[in-house]
Structure 1
Amino acid sequence: SPEEIERVTHGASEEDLVNSGLEETMIGAYHPIREVWKQRGSMEDMRTAALIVAIDKVALSYEQLGIFP
């Protein structure tokens, strides 16, 4: 069809590229959260796991900068 030919010849739109990048970012962020959630069986929800992952990232940055022990 003409629409398919147009889409193939012009490639992805800006919106498609942004959505693709966002999807990659969200998948990459989900995996560490899921691992923390699975490792700590007593954890209520993934929101708490996300908070732990975020705090760990900040702590690592502080250590690398020499701000904290």
Structure 2
Amino acid sequence: MGKLGDMANKAKEMAKGHPEQADKGVEGAERMVDERTGDKYDAQTDKAADAARRSYGSNSTTDR
């Protein structure tokens, strides 16, 4: 696997070990994109954030 794939796998493993911190990072990234785009892509960022959370086994969901 290439370096990018290795880095992605390492990040996923770290997120599995620290899901609360990973949730904060995902939430922050989602909020930043929403702010910069004026919530134009809110549905897409919600979907992407949920997929990211599922990838490391988080049970957290953000209520809006």
Structure-1-length-normalised TM-score: 0.35
Larger gyration radius, structure 1 or structure 2 = 1
Greater relative contact order (Cα 8 A, min sep 6): structure 1 or 2? 2
Structure-2-length-normalised TM-score: 0.37
